[in-house]
Amino acid sequence: MRERRTIQQLLGLLVFFALASQYPLLSIFNKKVLVGGLPLLYVGLFGLWLLFILTIGWLVRRRQKKEGDA
């Protein structure tokens, strides 16, 4: 049961980040602004990518902890 829930959470996360990386939302970051010498669009994309990876890691680690308790 827990495995199915984790898979559903990961699939939901994938869909969310796939939609978040499409044009309408990315156009928010498409400005001529530099952040630390990098264009805002790149910072936004890499920030989104980093958030995606960290969230996946958190979900997987949480699942491993629950398996260890059981």
How does DSSP classify residue 42? H
DSSP 3-state assignment of 34?
strand
- Contact at 8 Å (CB) between 20 and 52? no
State residue 1's pLDDT score: 67
Give pLDDT, residue 2. 72
Q: Are 26 and 44 in contact (CB under 8 A)?
A: yes
Give the predicted TM-score (pTM) of the model: 0.81
Mean pLDDT of 7-15: 95
The pLDDT, as a whole number, for residue 70 is 63
Q: Which two tokens stand for residue 54?
A: 């960290």
What are the phi and psi torsion angles at 36 (to 5°)?
A: 65, 30
Predicted confidence (pLDDT) per residue in 16-40, tens digit: 999 999 998 889 999 999 999 999 9
